[in-house]
Structure 1
Amino acid sequence: MSTILVTGGTGTLGVLVVARLRQAGHEVRVLSRHATEYPVDLSDGSGLDAAMAGAEVVVHCASNTRGTGKDDDTATRNLVESARRAGTVTNIVYISIVGVDVVPLGYYRRKLQVERLLEGCGLGVTILRTTQFHDLVAQLVDAAAKLPLVPVPVPGGVRVQPIAVGEVADRLAELAVPTPSGRVPDMGGPEIHLLPDLARTYLAATGRHRRVLPVPLAGKAYAGFKRGGHLAPSHAAGRTTFAEFAAGRGGR
């Protein structure tokens, strides 16, 4: 079994990755600013060397999603430098997004920047790109449904291929081995639907029988999404459909 360090291990994806790795018998170190055992601040690297000591694999799930990826590159540089100093890390596994090199969205550009940083760092790297999580679509719809507008406004003309976060966690746990795999095949959800249709499915499943209004947006990023640069139709590896996910949310 390996000693594995997980950044972002308390997040939506990270917590599931940690659980799967521990279930497989690995020693897992969860990095967090407020952790008791391994308090680490990726923004300045404090605490990293102690947490990294003896680790063979790093699963890098941390990202400043609220800040559209701000300082993700700095955090990753600190992570790489610490891994170099440790001298034991043979594989850094990074979770990215399908379309970061196609859709000109600020957050996507930062994810691509981190990918390139890792690919050029001289250490073993594994990069997995996936499509959006079911949870992200749900969050978008929930936020739109809170607006004092009737019907619920949702970006129109955009197709989405959502995937279950647990299935992505399964894949990352498989990749968290001492031998790096480089850029692995993308991982997409089982179905592609228009976002307004998914919104209707989710609202109905959660007991909110409201109309949905597809709203056209402006900008290059929106155009990139309309072109489908964030989709992976030839890599529909997911099994759980969005309708099944929504039904599960409705039963809570």
Structure 2
Amino acid sequence: MTTILVTGGTGTLGRHVCERLRSAGHEVRVLSRHSQPYAVDLREGGPALDRAVADVETIVHCATSPRGGDEQPTRNLIAAAQRAGVAHLVYISIVGVDRVPFPYYRSKLAVERLVEDSGLGWTILRTTQFHDLVFRLLQALSKAPVLLLPARVKDQPIEVTEVAERLAELAQGAPAGRVGEMGGPEVRTFESLAESYLRATGRRRAVVKVPLAGQAYQAFRAGGHLTPDHAVGKRTFEDYLAEHARRSGRRKG
């Protein structure tokens, strides 16, 4: 049995990774700011982080902030891992972080470089965005009478549990460096994703495509965040919407 630490272990991805590692018989330590007994703020590090990392063989680094700024927390984590003699650091990143000059992507790319230069055994997996993120974005946008979408932008959402399966597999293996990307099964226009969302939720909104300015938008429009040659995901956005409706129905019942 291996002791594996999962940062961000209560989050959208991390909790699924923890479930799969426990099912495989490993001792899993869940690190987050509020999860006892390993409640640690990675931005601060310190003795609590050293206690969390002690005797750990592998770290799966899922903790992140949508506002960016993941670099210092990762430096603190790497320093603790070096002191503890951790053998393997697994990092989840995003397809296109080296092609799209979006602030959050730049932060993820900087973390990739920290991991590569850490001196630890490492594995980096890049994936496209999760179905859940697309859902929450469309949910927020549809609060207005008109649903405004970035013009000529596509997306390739993937099921989070499929990514969790792959991360758990990688965590149980030897350091593999940069592994093959994971993309969702379909490259879709944002308009088609929005139409599916509106049908599934019974909402009626006019959809208006708005051209935007800036280098990041141009890179998204050019498909820098897509990986059509690695469309390995199985579950579609419609599959996600159907499952979300079933879960919501069970909660209401």
Q: Does 1:195 align with 2:180?
A: no
Superposition map of 1:18-57 within 5 A? 18-46=18-46, 47-57=48-58
Q: Could you tell me which residue of structure 2 aligns to residue 153 of structure 1?
A: 148
2:219 to 202, 213, 224: 224
Q: Could you tell me which residue of structure 1 aligns to residue 107 of structure 2?
A: 110
Q: Could you tell me which residue of structure 2 aligns to residue 124 of structure 1?
A: 121
1:99 to 96, 112, 115: 96
Equivalent residues of 1:32, 1:38 under 8 A apart: yes
Q: Distance in 1 between matches of 2:65 and 2:146?
A: 31
Q: Does 1:61 align with 2:59?
A: no
- In the superposition, the TM-score normalised over structure 1's length comes to 0.95
Gaps of 5+ in 2: 249-253
Displacement after TM superposition at 1:35 (Å): 2.3
Query: What SS does the aligned partner of 1:43 have?
Result: coil
Q: Distance in 2 between matches of 1:35 and 1:141?
A: 30
Displacement after TM superposition at 1:247 (Å): 2.1
Query: What SS does the aligned partner of 1:137 have?
Result: helix
Q: Distance in 1 between matches of 2:137 and 2:19?
A: 27
- What's the CA shift string for 1:153-207, capped at 9, x where partnerless? 1112101000000100010000002510100000000001101110110111111
Q: Distance in 1 between matches of 2:181 and 2:88?
A: 18
Q: Distance in 1 between matches of 2:64 and 2:146?
A: 33
Q: Could you tell me which residue of structure 1 aligns to residue 231 of structure 2?
A: 236
Query: What SS does the aligned partner of 1:28 have?
Result: strand
Q: Which moves more between the two structures, 43-52 or 232-241?
A: 43-52
- What's the CA shift string for 1:72-97, capped at 9, x where partnerless? 1111111111011111x111000000
Superposition map of 1:66-77 within 5 A? 67=67, 69-70=68-69, 72-77=70-75
Q: Which amino acid aligns with 1:97?
A: I
Q: Which amino acid aligns with 2:141?
A: A
- In the superposition, the TM-score normalised over structure 2's length comes to 0.95
- Between the two proteins, the alignment pairs up a number of residues equal to 246
Q: Which amino acid aligns with 2:76?
A: N
Query: What SS does the aligned partner of 2:229 have?
Result: helix
Q: Which amino acid aligns with 1:224?
A: A
Q: Distance in 2 between matches of 1:84 and 1:7?
A: 16
RMSD of aligned C-alpha atoms? 1.0
Q: Could you tell me which residue of structure 2 aligns to residue 84 of structure 1?
A: 82
Q: Distance in 2 between matches of 1:248 and 1:34?
A: 29
Q: Which amino acid aligns with 2:81?
A: A
Q: Which amino acid aligns with 1:169?
A: A
Q: Which amino acid aligns with 1:62?
A: A
4+ residue runs of structure 1 moved beyond 6 angstroms?
Answer: none
Q: Could you tell me which residue of structure 1 aligns to residue 163 of structure 2?
A: 168
Q: Distance in 2 between matches of 1:188 and 1:10?
A: 23
